[in-house]
Amino acid sequence: MIGQPDQTRFRFKPDPRALILGVGLWTILFVLMQTPRALALAGGLALILAKAVGASWRTLIRRMAALNALLIFLLPLMAVESFALSAWPWRLAPDRLILFAAVALRANAILILAQGLVGAMDMATLGHALVHLRCPPKLAHLIVFSARYLDLLRHEWNRLYRAARMRGFRMSIGLRTWRVLGALVGGLLLRSLDRAERVLYAMKCRGYQGRFFMLHHFRYTAADAVFVLTLALAGGIVIWLDRM
C-alpha cells in the first residue's frame, strides 16, 4: 500500500518528533556544506543513522537508484567543458567535477536521511507528530486525510483504467488517447469529490466541528534527548570539518 510503513523490525524507536527535527536539522546542514569530503562523511553518518532506525536496504537502494540515474544523465550536461565539435574529444572540467561530486553526495545524503528516518514512518504518525510540532493543524489534517485516501483513489484509478483497457483503450500518441485520458482523470476527480461529500456528511454525523482530536500523545524520553543531542553534536563536528 502507498504510504504504509516498511515491514521492517524496529530496533531503536525514537520519538517521531525527534526524527522529524533531526531530518530538518541535518537537511539544513547538508545544504550549508560545500566540500565533498565533509559531505561524504555526513552521508555515511546518515546511512548509519537510517540503518539504526530500521530502514531496509532494499527501499534505500531502490530510491537511490532512481536519483543516481538522473545524476548520471546530468553529469555530462553540467561538467563537460564545451560541446563544440572543435573541442573533441570532449573533456570534463576539473572544477565542475568537484562541484558535481558535492551535488551528488549531498543529494544522496539528504535522500538517505529522509527515506531512512521519515520515509519509514506511516503517514498517520507523521501527521500526529507534525501537529505536536506546532505545524498548522489544517495542513496536518490535509496531510493525514489525503494520505488516508491515497491508496483508495489509486484503486479507483486502476478500476477506471482497467475498464477502459477492457474496451480496447491503449496508450498511444494520438489525440484519441488524450481524449480518453481526459475522461478518465475527470472521472477520478468527480468520484473523489463525491466521496469527499459523503465523508464530510459521515464526519458531521459523528460530531465533526472543524478539528480532529489527537488521542495519541508521544512521550519524549531520555533516549530521545540523547538522540537529538548526538545528532546536533555530530552535525557540529561535520560542519567544522567542512570549514577547515
Interface residues for another protein in 32-61 (CB under 8 A)? 32
Contact status: 1 vs another protein (CB under 8 A): no
Distance of CA 178 to the CA centre of its chain: 30
Contact status: 30 vs another protein (CB under 8 A): yes
For residue 189, the minimal CB distance to another protein (Å) is: 5
Nearer to another protein, 102 or 228 (CB): 102
> Which three cell numbers mark 140?
496536518
Nearer to another protein, 63 or 132 (CB): 63
Output DSSP code: residue 24: H
d(CA 139, CA 121): 18
Residue type, 72: I
| Candidate segments 26-34, 46-54, 215-223, 228-236, binder of another protein by CB under 8 A | 26-34
- Dihedral Cα 169, 174, 180, 184, nearest 10 deg: 100
Contact status: 239 vs another protein (CB under 8 A): no
**If phi over 0 gives left and psi between -120 and 50 gives alpha, with beta otherwise, what is residue 121?**
beta
Number of residues that bind another protein (CB under 8 A): 80
3-state SS class at 235? helix
- Which residues inside 121-150 make contact with another protein, applying CB under 8 A? 126, 136, 138-139, 141-143, 145-150
Q: Check whether the bond before 89 is cis (ω within 30° of 0).
A: yes
> Which three cell numbers mark 25?
536539522
Burial class (CB in 10 A: 0-12, 13-18, 19+), 50: buried
d(CA 208, CA 26): 38
d(CA 227, CA 3): 25
Nearer to another protein, 176 or 225 (CB): 176
Contact status: 183 vs another protein (CB under 8 A): yes
Which of 111, 228, 231, 234 lies at the binding interface for another protein (CB under 8 A)? 111
For residue 171, the minimal CB distance to another protein (Å) is: 6
Binding-site string for another protein from residue 187 to residue 216, where x marks contact by CB under 8 A and - marks none:
xxxx-xx-xxx-xx--x-----xxx-----
| Candidate segments 7-15, 179-187, 214-222, 228-236, binder of another protein by CB under 8 A | 179-187
For residue 81, the minimal CB distance to another protein (Å) is: 11
Nearer to another protein, 130 or 228 (CB): 130
Integer-rounded Cα radius of gyration of the chain: 23
For residue 93, the minimal CB distance to another protein (Å) is: 9
| Candidate segments 6-14, 45-53, 112-120, 233-241, binder of another protein by CB under 8 A | 112-120
Other Cβ atoms closer than 10 A to 77: 9
